[in-house]
Amino acid sequence: MENKVLYSAVQPSGNLTIGNYAGAIRNWVRMQSEFDCFFAIADMHAITVRQEPALLRRRTAELAALYLACGIDPERCTLYVQSQVSAHAELAWALNCITYVGEMERMTQFKDKSRKHADNINMGLMDYPVLMAADILLYQPHYVPVGADQKQHVEITRDIAIRFNNRYGETFRVPEPYIMKEGASIKSLQEPAKKMSKSDENANASVYLTDDKDTIIRKFKRAVTDSDNEIRVSPEKAGISNLLNIYASFAGCSLAEAENTFRGKGYGDFKLAVGETVADALAPVQEEQRRLLSDKEYLNSVLQAGAERAFKASRKTLSKVYRKIGFYRGE
């Protein structure tokens, strides 16, 4: 029996955070033995906000190295750069023509980003979920593992797939979002009601995958908590709950086990322990990423092989779509 297919992607837009790691990439490593995986570097999504070209190029390579450093095996998975596979842009166009402007205007991330980048509300920003639907549907995946913040985008992908299938006949598999419990939503260390984001202006709010041990511990020491001294998960204790979630996710235990570990301890010791756990877990990944970045030949060969595989898989779906839509290919 063939393996089920998994698809996901990360944007190379900014310094990746422990949210991207715990909510996404790290979980994929565990899944690669069970599924046929496609993992993309979504550079076409990244340019929906302004990017400095040299930096975008560098971050693309850094992200590729990070995937590999985390343990993504390029022999088993298809690891590629989105803009190197033209079917993404092509399918996005076809899907645009069955997607309504009103649906896109209602997307949470579009509303947030429009507020944040009020001087640059471009068509791409609004169209972002359609490109994401194209990414996914091209590879006919069963599952799309993402953090909680991307769930809405996977839901609209399902809507678009169902609509296309209804209009033109069975074409796309309708994928399921796959959201991990621990790590699915790592919050800002400064405003724990918000998700930790690579584009946060306050550098203390996010722990970056490139931060060294001292920086990581300093950021956790400054994390916002509350004025009582109980270490437990509760909606009224957003800061502490977030730290427990981060700890559980990096120590590889459940939230209940994390609570037990720190029962009766003070906030100071707790924050230090979380910082050390995160820093120690990241250290080998950071070292391997640096090593890979110094071997561009290898990195480029992995991405080229990935793009070739992605090209083949995506063409199959795109040809089917073009046929169904009625694009002329000779009678």
The secondary structure of 1-49 as a DSSP string is -PPEEEEEEE--SS--BHHHIIIIIHHHHHHTTTEEEEEEE-HHHHTTS
Q: How far is CA 190 from CA 111, 144, 210, in A?
A: 22, 29, 19
SS (H, E, C) 116-178: HCCCCCCHHHHHHHHHHHHHHHHCCCCEEECCHHHHHHHHHHHHHHHHHHHHHCCCCCCCEEE
**Sheet of strand 176-178, all strands in order from the earlier edge strand to the far edge:** 78-81, 35-41, 4-10, 143-145, 176-178
The least CB distance from residue 22 to ligand TYM, in Å, is 6
* Local structure of residue 208 (DSSP, 8 states): B
Active site residue 113: yes
Separation between Cα atoms, residue 201 and residue 290, nearest integer Å: 25
| 3-state secondary structure at position 80 | strand
The least CB distance from residue 145 to ligand TYM, in Å, is 7
Quote the Cα angle for 191-193-194, to 5°: 75
Q: Which residues have CB under 8 Å from 151's CB, separation 6+?
A: 177, 179
Among 91, 196, 209, 302, binds ligand TYM (CB under 6 A): 196
Closer CB to ligand TYM, residue 84 or residue 298? 84
Exactly one of 187, 198, 237, 271 is catalytic; which is it? 198
Binding of ligand TYM by 246 (CB under 6 A): no
Q: Which residue is nearest to ligand TYM (CB)?
A: 23
Active site residue 111: no
Closer CB to ligand TYM, residue 155 or residue 269? 155
Binding of ligand TYM by 10 (CB under 6 A): yes
Among 6, 24, 91, 258, binds ligand TYM (CB under 6 A): 24
Separation between Cα atoms, residue 279 and residue 274, nearest integer Å: 9
Q: Which of residues 55-94 bind ligand TYM (CB under 6 A)?
A: none
Binding of ligand TYM by 185 (CB under 6 A): yes
Active site residue 271: no
Among 5, 6, 9, 240, binds ligand TYM (CB under 6 A): 9
Taking CB under 6 A as the rule, which mask of x and - marks residues 129-168 in contact with ligand TYM? ---x--xx-------x-xx-xx--x---------------
The least CB distance from residue 234 to ligand TYM, in Å, is 19
Dihedral (CA of 200, 206, 207, 212) sign: positive
The least CB distance from residue 271 to ligand TYM, in Å, is 18
Taking CB under 6 A as the rule, which mask of x and - marks residues 200-229 in contact with ligand TYM? ------------------------------
Residues forming contacts to ligand TYM in the complex (CB under 6 A) are 7-11, 19-20, 23-24, 42, 45, 132, 135-136, 144, 146-147, 149-150, 153, 183-186, 195-196
Catalytic residues: 113, 195, 198
